[in-house]
Chain A
Amino acid sequence: MTMPPHDAVIHAAGLRKDFTVKRKTGRLRRTAQSVSAVDGVDLTITTGETVGYIGPNGAGKSTTLKMMTGILTPTGGALTVCGLEPVPRRKQLARRIGVVFGQRSQLWWDLPLRESFRLLRHVYSVPAADHAHRLETCRRMLDLDAFLDTPVRQLSLGQRMRGEITAALLHGPEVLFLDEPTIGLDVVSKHALRAFLADLGARGDVTIVLTTHDLADIERLCPRLVVVDHGRVVHDGTLAALHERYGSRRRVVVDLDRPYDDLPHVPGVKVDRVEDDGHRVVFALDGVPAGGLIARLAQLGGLRDVAVQEPDIEEVVARLYTTEPAEPAEPAEPAVPA
């Protein structure tokens, strides 16, 4: 096992979780089968980082978060969070982390939000002044005032989610775990929540680990991106590194009055595809600016419309998800040409 670096908040080495599922294989017979939900994850997260954890459905994201928060016992490997082994030290760890599982509530269903917050102060033994300050900040930034006195069961999803995030922050956690915090929220609520989390992350005070299927969350919030598939890390690095690695390019979409006989050749530019009987040509830019290509096209004439497309994260990720299980990636490895 490797030793965690001194500033590591979360350190996982060869982390595994197998579930045993019973399958009906005959009329009466049931055989136990082992499903590997997390299959050897190595991960080190340092203080103040904001890390996005993405992967297709069933990739093992929630399972990993459950192990990190101490509510699920790993099958193998080593794991420390805040220097503690999560499951045996669950109660101590609980004071130092904040957790929001998007589909669950940690609030008291029948009581007003305000009451839940007050209870949490006692449950976590937070000094009254600290509690008041944190609550005040969240009230202001998350606009809680309108529904502070509403019983939780009557809150809308977006309102409840704002309450959940507040509840997770009131005891001043060192690490905030968010499992799909933006699930089911409308565009405005998502924006508000992202702005809040971006702000929180930018201060470097709280380490944030979040899973999501909304890649806009990642683009907005996470300098570092961990992609898992079939329980393994297939990418660990920046978004830009991901683009580079999977050969995503900026593209220039050109609409023409009439098809070219010969497509122009510009250094660093490749023809990606030709559509509409040659009336539309899509060029891929290999790290060069679009200017040279557009100037060349203007010379040729017959240009109706030009659009430059930024690399599409959805596309990269879709490609990543559909390729067969890759070899686990080395963290921060140099870009591999696709």
Chain B
Amino acid sequence: MPFAAACPKSAPDPHSAPDPSADPPDRRGRPRPPARRRAADAAAGFVALTGAGFRRYATYRQAMVAGLFTNIVFGAMLASIMLGVAADGRTPGGYSREQLVAFVWVGQGLLNVVYTWGWRELADRVRSGDVTADLLRPVDPLTSYAAADLGRAGQAVLGRWIAPVVVGVAFYDIYVPHRPSTYVLFVVSVVLATLVSFGGRYLVNLSAFWLLDVRGPVALWMLAGALLSGSFLPMRFLPEWVQWLLWCGTPFPSIFQIPLDVAVERTDGALSATTVLLQLVWVIVLFLACRAVQRRAVRRLVVQGG
């Protein structure tokens, strides 16, 4: 059977009015679909790529179990420190004992959801030249990597986040949020935190187009993330002027501190919502930066390897 017959060309959409701004049809007479269809197609593509990210990380079961064990041991250690710090009714950083315990146990799994560790996937692909495959697709790599990262985060919620929270609830006197809006705001905040973290990691990885070896920048990003995001100690333990500097001048508190403050209801609802808005600003800033840098990178693009 001829290949051509086996591959019928898509029929032109009878409902689409000729759009003068649309691209000319290609040689096979396939017209460009209307804008609404294109948007729906793009959304379907994004969802499919997110699903692929989710399934991809689901294949690493052993790593998940080992990581989970570490999270729980660390969580127990941190929790005992926090209980000491907040003994005798002290409220360091304005947190109660129960809030600090919640900060620890919600935070342990969240580290893996937002992913504050070193991520070099894009840089490695630039170095090896495999980035070719990403660039040969009709989807912007920034979009497809973001989709995959959200899928990865979703997998981490199931595999890494739930268990430590259950441990905290089962064995500790833990703060339970009482405002219903907190639950919704927390979900939004975690998605935004993942995107902030992703944007920063992607930006650092883009330096591979110039440097080829990105271990330095990645290590720097990781270190800054560990110190400034609130994953070692809540940022609110620091002097107020330092906090202002970090919250507004760096994306790091948006990656970790903000979703946790939302979860433990450290501030009232309005202020919590404002901090989530700050996260959104960071997402926009970082994605715009990624786009600008990527455009320059691709323009001077040298794909490595024959």
Interface residues of A (CB under 8 A from B): 9, 19, 47, 62, 66, 69-73, 82, 87, 90-92, 94-96, 99, 101, 103-106, 108, 110-111, 115, 118-119, 122-127, 129-130, 133-134, 136-137, 151, 172, 174, 199-200, 203, 205-206
Contacts and interface: CB of A to CB of B under 8 A. Distances in A.
Contact of A71 (B38, B55, B135, B140): B135
B133 interface: yes
B9 interface: yes
A72 B28 CA distance: 26
State the main secondary structure of chain B at its contact with A.
loop
B44 interface: yes
Q: Which of B41, B44, B52, B306 has the largest count of A CB atoms less than 10 A from its CB? A: B306
A82 B24 CA distance: 12
Contacts of A151: 59
B197 to A, nearest CB: 21
Given A137-B3, A174-B27, A122 B138 contact: no
Contact of B306 (A62, A94, A95, A125): A62
A133 B130 contact: no
Interface stretch (B164-172, B276-284, B297-305): B297-305
Given A99-B136, A111-B55, A125 B305 contact: no
Nearest to A57: B306
A66 B303 contact: yes
A205 B9 CA distance: 11
B27 A104 contact: no
A130 B8 contact: yes
A91 B138 contact: yes
Nearest to B45: A122
Given A129-B8, A130-B7, A199-B3, A69 B27 contact: no
Nearest to A174: B27
Q: Which of B6, B9, B305 has the largest count of A CB atoms less than 10 A from its CB? A: B6
Interface in B46-86: 47-49, 52, 55-56, 59
A213 B235 CA distance: 61
A123 B3 contact: no
B132 A137 contact: no
B34 interface: no
B2 A203 contact: yes
A136 B27 contact: no
8 closest A-B pairs (Cβ-Cβ)? A122-B48, A125-B41, A106-B133, A137-B6, A94-B138, A122-B45, A205-B4, A62-B306
B7 A122 contact: no
B48 A119 contact: yes
B21 interface: no
